[in-house]
Structure 1
């Protein structure tokens, strides 16, 4: 009996040891599984890229975007400045319709020349959402006023980065934040630093008398202008001049009487012809018109104030107003140097 009791106790001990061993192994397996899961989550989090858009919304991508749809024409241009034109799978139809943009971007990308990059837009800013979906984009870059498009794309789980280009700070921030999302952050920072240094150099050349400049909108809309706080106002200030329009408005429509009252030293046009001003009987007696101080930014591609090329706009305006280069060729050489940096490629400004 004693012997059987000892054997029974010994058997129970073995059973208990077995159970303990089982639970120990189970705990180790669970710990390893949890550890691997946490490591996987940590690895996934480490590979994520984050950036904040014009709305203050944080966009989070699992990795750098490789397929990008841009629905705001000026940012197509900036994608090429970032050296990321190859990531474009969709662009606005206007890129092909705008002869200046089409000509110069064709020099940067044979797909533009062949018009082979998809255009998921109808015209203006109307977007064919189904076509955007078919492009399997990792990221869509959309103008802030395209509210319906933004809502539709985000409702379909397509990451949307919203741009405004409303002032210098936004142009810089949007360039750098898109750079983060597409793996071009360092290049974006280099561009911003370059432009800032150029602006500081212009600012060091202080004029005792600031010339006043009236800006006439594109497509011959001479009586539409850009007020204080606008992008054109920014370029005028960078040039060392002052905006003749004193109104704190983005795009006011004004009368001939107002322009006579402001009496600008110069009239500057973008995507318009000087004859759009000279043929107006209402402005025939305006001193700037009489003195042939009406200028048009040509070619328009290089002077788009919605991008960091507001620097080129400012330099051209300054040269017209203050003749800070000895000859026109010296000025063109200076512009060419900036263009070569912005596109990292020789592209004639003629």
Structure 2
């Protein structure tokens, strides 16, 4: 169904005003044809501008432990089930975990995150990560970790160390999850998010797109994240890594990526939306339009097993578009 441009704007204004929309409206938005995506984006841009003005968040990650993951996520080069040519190493020592944070303290990067491979970390490794971040006294950075499925005591320890946010993607919606991962359940992920919230941590949770999900399933994931009241939603676009089940497969186009971002913004009007892995590969020359599609943040620097734009490139883009990084 096509909405004329004023209708997209009207829908956005209704969302901004706090009106509860019928689910059918969201479903019609998700069915927007490619030729009308820039009209869809106009409403998403209005919503972003209302809640976040011209400010853009920048985050960066450290791949603190790489490879040989016990889980079978079909898209992931770090899974032991895949024969991907990636660097494999155990948990970095404390100084290496801290190095990236020290390099970012006097930059415009707002948040630094340590990410580790595996279903979860044992207690001693959770303590090692928590202690490493606990020693970083600078208030110029916020700290996040992504350590897999942890228990309540481990979450409490991270909070006591000064970690402010826990990252744990749902990856995709419930109805599609078994097509993406079978070595743990969707509820395992949901419960991990709930444990992080009980510990007083803010939560960053989103997914990866381009793994054969439908637009209806994109919308399903958005509603799941809304129900969980997550604080930030990272959006990753598939990089079809050699050796994985998705090698050579990718049904994403730049326009479809912008559509996904826009739909997320309509459903999650006041939630941070951060564009992460696969941004340049999939959006190509349109990657600078992620903000007009509704995003208010990007991950800068390298990702887990792939490279990304470096900080100065992203800062140049942000300033050229008339935005400002959060200081």
Asked if TM exceeds 0.5, the reply is: no
Structure 1 or 2: more helix by fraction:
1
Q: TM-score range by the shorter chain?
A: under 0.3
Larger RCO: 1 or 2 (CA < 8 Å, sep 6+): 2
Q: Which has the larger radius of gyration?
A: 1
